[in-house]
Amino acid sequence: MNRRTVLVASLLAGAAALPTTLRAEDAVKIGLILPMTGPFASTGRQVEAAARLFMAQNGDTVAGRKIELILKDDGGVADQTKRIAQELIVNDKVSVLAGFGLTPLAFAAAPLATQAKVPMVVVAAATSVITERSPYIARTSFTLPQATVPLAEWAAKNGIESVVTVVSDYGPGVDAETAFTTRFTAAGGKVLETIRVPVANPDFAPFLQRVRDLKPSAVFVFVPSGIGSAFMKQFKERGLAEAGIKLIGTGDVTDDDILDAMGDVALGTITTHHYSAAHDSPENKAFVEAFEAANKGMRPNFMGVGGYDGMRLIYEALKATGGDPDGDKLIEAMKQAKWTSPRGPVAIDPRTRDIVQNIYFREVERVDGQLYNVEFDAVEAVKDPVKEAH
Ligand code: PHB
């Protein structure tokens, strides 16, 4: 059979039937699937920049094996993610899939990871249930309940009596709404209304007018990375701050990538999250400096740090297997991983394959003329609370 016949036969046989043995001189390929175009392109830009920085700093050889990164754009469309993941597995014979900028994109690829026994490192998407969709998934981003629960408890203890929640109407938004409502209510707070807004091109104006009419002490918000500016603009135009309504949320709304451009309206916003570019540690100072230097001053956000740590997780796993890219061995090694991230100490929970990390309380302040999420407190080593419950 010539090469073409073999390729066609392989495609027909499907991914699971493919020989996965690699020769020692073959490169270990990582297929990185990201939204490089479309409304969530900032996630792709951040993750790509961070992955390339990690490789520039740590070399492109691990345990004697050359590493090859193959970047593909799915435009944020789940059907594309699925098609690309299939091609990367079958044609390119990648040993690891990584990326996944949004929850539906991670869902689309999960069955392929299981079928082909290829580890899938989720560096961005953050709905709790994602890691349960395949035993080959490990995650370096966060989960919405992980970031939300500490805020709900903080709000109840800090004079916020009533809240209206406003979330994007899909997996992570529903996770955030459920976690906030459950914990805030249990701690004695009142949730006056739960509002869900469309994910794509949301017009927040009518919803924020509704919030203004309800006069809660605060509005809790979750919108995915990149959408926060549109929310802030409407928050300002509807005069919510003047009406005495505080803004709280997960750190997705005050995303470091776009925070400084939001202007004074963002000042005083209280959020909880796993990463701030202003995190005060030597590891983070070095990361931010190198990232900005390599990317024309672009400030890293939590998506960037997810991508950086995703590469770190893959490198650590390959070191542990002595360069063996076998999927079962790699995912087992990933479950033992533990390191110091720019965000602080992190580990992969061997039971859930989710990341265990500190969740920080932050307030938007002006530092040397620029807006930052300045951390003022933290809860240490937080696991995904949804999976802790079962
Ligand atoms: C997601 O789709 O899972 C997602 C995207 C952006 C975020 C958080 C979660 O900021």
Condensed to tens digits (0 to 9), the pLDDT of residues 17-56 reads 444 555 656 899 999 999 999 999 999 999 999 999 999 9
**Which amino acid does the sequence have at 286?**
A
Alpha helices in the chain (DSSP H): 3-13, 41-58, 78-90, 103-116, 144-157, 171-186, 205-214, 228-237, 259-262, 282-294, 302-320, 327-335, 385-388
* Residue bearing tokens 């919803």: 207
The DSSP secondary structure of 27-49, one letter per residue, reads PEEEEEEE--SSTTHHHHHHHHH
Backbone angles phi, psi at 101, to 5 degrees: -75, -20
Counting Cα atoms < 13 Å in the Cβ hemisphere of 23 gives 2
Q: What is the pLDDT of residue 26?
A: 87
Would residue 322 be called left, alpha or beta, if left means φ above 0 and alpha means ψ between -120 and 50 degrees?
Answer: left
* Residue bearing tokens 């043995």: 21
Closest atom of ligand 1 relative to the 125 alpha carbon:
3
Question: Token digits for 73?
Answer: 């754009």
**Which amino acid does the sequence have at 265?**
V
Going residue by residue through the chain (390 aa), what tens digit of pLDDT does each one get? 455 544 444 444 544 444 455 565 689 999 999 999 999 999 999 999 999 999 999 999 999 999 999 999 999 999 999 999 999 999 999 999 999 999 999 999 999 999 999 999 999 999 999 999 999 999 999 999 999 999 999 999 999 999 999 999 999 999 999 999 999 999 999 999 999 999 988 899 999 999 999 999 999 999 999 999 999 999 999 999 999 999 999 999 999 999 999 999 999 999 999 999 999 999 999 999 999 999 999 999 999 999 999 999 999 999 999 999 999 999 999 999 999 999 999 999 999 999 999 999 999 999 999 999 999 999 999 999 999 887
Would you say 68 and 27 are in contact if contact means Cβ atoms under 8 Å apart? yes
- The alpha carbon of 40 and the centre of ligand 1 are apart by a number of angstroms equal to 10
**Which amino acid does the sequence have at 266?**
A
**Cβ(172) – ligand 1 distance below 6 Å:** yes
Q: What is the pLDDT of residue 1?
A: 45
Find the helix packing angle between 302-320 and 282-294, rounded to 10°: 110
**Cβ(127) – ligand 1 distance below 6 Å:** yes
Spatial CA neighbour of 274 closest among 241, 246, 308, 317: 308
**Cβ(257) – ligand 1 distance below 6 Å:** no
| Alpha-carbon span 233 to 215, nearest angstrom | 19
**Is residue 179 classed as helix, strand or coil in its secondary structure?**
helix
Which own/partner pairs from 345-348 qualify as long-range (CB within 8 Å, at least 24 positions apart)?
A: 345/381, 346/140, 346/309, 347/381, 348/138, 348/313
- The alpha carbon of 348 and the centre of ligand 1 are apart by a number of angstroms equal to 19
- The alpha carbon of 175 and the centre of ligand 1 are apart by a number of angstroms equal to 11
For ligand 1, atom 6, which residue shows the shortest CA distance?
224
| Alpha-carbon span 134 to 325, nearest angstrom | 18
- The alpha carbon of 63 and the centre of ligand 1 are apart by a number of angstroms equal to 33
* Residue bearing tokens 């014979």: 93
Would you say 253 and 222 are in contact if contact means Cβ atoms under 8 Å apart? yes
Would you say 303 and 99 are in contact if contact means Cβ atoms under 8 Å apart? no
- The alpha carbon of 27 and the centre of ligand 1 are apart by a number of angstroms equal to 31
**Which amino acid does the sequence have at 15?**
A
Within a 10 A sphere around the Cβ of 263, how many other Cβ atoms?
13
Spatial CA neighbour of 225 closest among 34, 38, 40, 33: 40
**Cβ(102) – ligand 1 distance below 6 Å:** yes
Q: What is the pLDDT of residue 21?
A: 58
Q: What is the pLDDT of residue 200?
A: 80
Closest atom of ligand 1 relative to the 170 alpha carbon:
2
**Cβ(105) – ligand 1 distance below 6 Å:** no
For ligand 1, atom 8, which residue shows the shortest CA distance?
224
| Alpha-carbon span 359 to 193, nearest angstrom | 26
Within a 10 A sphere around the Cβ of 210, how many other Cβ atoms?
14
State the distance between the two ends of the chain, measured CA to CA, in whole angstroms: 52
**Cβ(141) – ligand 1 distance below 6 Å:** no
Q: What is the pLDDT of residue 24?
A: 59
Pocket test for ligand 1, best of 225, 257, 272 (most atoms within 8 A of CB): 225
Q: What is the pLDDT of residue 18?
A: 45
- The alpha carbon of 252 and the centre of ligand 1 are apart by a number of angstroms equal to 8
| Alpha-carbon span 130 to 122, nearest angstrom | 9
